[in-house]
């Protein structure tokens, strides 16, 4: 009888029972996420792996041959790629900071408890980001046309004496693209800031006012530090979105005049479907975006002081 008790209470059996409970618990958990893991692997990781292998190949259709690093070496001597990369960085360095600052400004303004019709203004600013990409791009194309409303408005204010060729001038065409992207995505980022602002304890602002802090001091010493994780998040997703910009350029300027507004994503499209198809080189260019996203995200984490 004592032997049975000893066996029942042995450490070996206890470990088996603990492992069985752990296995059942985790087994059920894995069953719940198995479909999602399979879908992500099939539609995300597998295409990424295939694209990486494709970047080391060259040719048309199924007639591909292994070329090693030749596609990556070709990037440095490709003037069209260099132009697309330069344009994309111009959009990134100008548009993203402007959009983040505008979104932050509007969120603070619309978080004021004394402001009337807040719901209307929030909806109006957020509405562009749910508008059809093609529809709003076509509207911007007409707005910035030679006989469009923008030229008419500037002439009515006597700011210009004759219509500007917004879509035919390299600099003005870039400004048009930047204006279109900013108009569409400012409200999207504003919603993140507005949600975060509503979670900041109001007593912090009341204590700051009692201590004599001005509105600007409250903004820079309370609001901005409290919104730091959200600012980092929106900066990263805005950077990724700008590096992948395609629809606005395709529908407003088609990359012109010349290659003055061509982006990396549109160049990938042209390599695949407009020029003589070269899917290997197109995959190589696409991995430039991946590398840029990783590098710029790490830089933003480092600047923000977030080492996690």
Quick one: average pLDDT of 74-97?
94
% helix, strand, coil for the chain, step of 5: 75, 5, 25
**Rounded to an integer, what distance in angstroms lies between the CA atom of residue 247 and that of residue 265?**
9
- Report whether pLDDT(114) > 80: yes
% of the chain beyond a pLDDT of 70: 91
Contact (Cβ atoms closer than 8 angstroms) between residue 231 and residue 100: yes
Residues 185-219: tens digit of each pLDDT: 999 999 999 999 988 888 888 898 888 888 888 88
What pLDDT does residue 63 have? 77
Which residues touch 293 (CB under 8 Å, ≥6 apart)?
A: 239, 240, 243
**In the chain, where the domains are located:** 8-54, 72-304
Residues 167-192: tens digit of each pLDDT: 999 999 999 999 999 999 999 999 99
166 SS3 class: coil
Q: Which two three-digit tokens encode residue 295?
A: 């590098």
Q: Which two three-digit tokens encode residue 228?
A: 């730091």
Calculate ∠ Cα 276-281-287, nearest 5°. Answer: 140
The CATH class of 72-304 is mainly alpha
pLDDT-based confidence at residue 10 (cuts at 50, 70, 90): low
Which residues touch 249 (CB under 8 Å, ≥6 apart)?
A: 177, 255, 261, 262, 263, 266
Sign of CA dihedral 208, 212, 217, 218: positive
Helices 170-197, 79-110: crossing angle, 10 deg rounding: 40
**Rounded to an integer, what distance in angstroms lies between the CA atom of residue 136 and that of residue 180?**
8
Quick one: average pLDDT of 146-164?
91
- Model's pTM, two decimal places? 0.84
**Rounded to an integer, what distance in angstroms lies between the CA atom of residue 219 and that of residue 205?**
9
């Amino acid at each position: 009888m004592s032997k049975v008790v000893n066996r029942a209470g042995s450490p070996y059996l206890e470990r088996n029972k603990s492992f069985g409970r752990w296995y059942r618990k985790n087994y059920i958990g894995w069953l719940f996420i198995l479909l999602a893991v399979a879908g992500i692997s099939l539609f995300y990781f597998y295409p990424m792996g295939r694209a990486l292998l494709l970047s080391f190949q060259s040719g048309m259709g199924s007639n591909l041959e292994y070329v090693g690093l030749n596609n990556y070496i070709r990037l440095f001597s490709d003037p069209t790629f260099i132009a697309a990369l330069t344009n994309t960085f111009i959009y990134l360095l100008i548009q993203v900071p402007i959009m983040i600052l505008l979104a932050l400004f509007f969120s603070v303004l619309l978080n004021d408890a004394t402001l009337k019709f807040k719901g209307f203004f929030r909806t109006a600013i957020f509405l562009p980001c749910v508008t059809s990409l093609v529809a709003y791009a076509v509207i911007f194309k007409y707005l910035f046309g030679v006989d469009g409303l923008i030229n008419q408005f500037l002439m009515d204010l006597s700011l210009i004496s004759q219509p500007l060729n917004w879509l035919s001038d390299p600099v003005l065409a870039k400004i048009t693209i930047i204006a279109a992207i900013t108009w569409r995505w400012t409200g999207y980022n504003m919603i993140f800031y507005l949600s975060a602002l509503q979670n900041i304890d109001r007593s912090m602002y009341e204590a700051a006012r009692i201590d004599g802090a001005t509105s600007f001091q409250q903004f820079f010493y309370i609001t901005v530090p409290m919104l730091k994780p959200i600012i980092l998040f929106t900066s990263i997703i805005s950077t990724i979105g700008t590096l992948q910009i395609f629809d606005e350029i395709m529908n407003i300027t088609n990359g012109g005049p010349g290659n003055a507004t061509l982006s990396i994503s549109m160049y990938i499209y042209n390599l695949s479907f407009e020029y003589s198809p070269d899917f290997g080189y197109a995959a190589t260019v696409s991995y430039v975006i991946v590398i840029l996203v990783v590098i710029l995200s790490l830089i933003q984490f480092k600047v923000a002081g977030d080492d996690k």
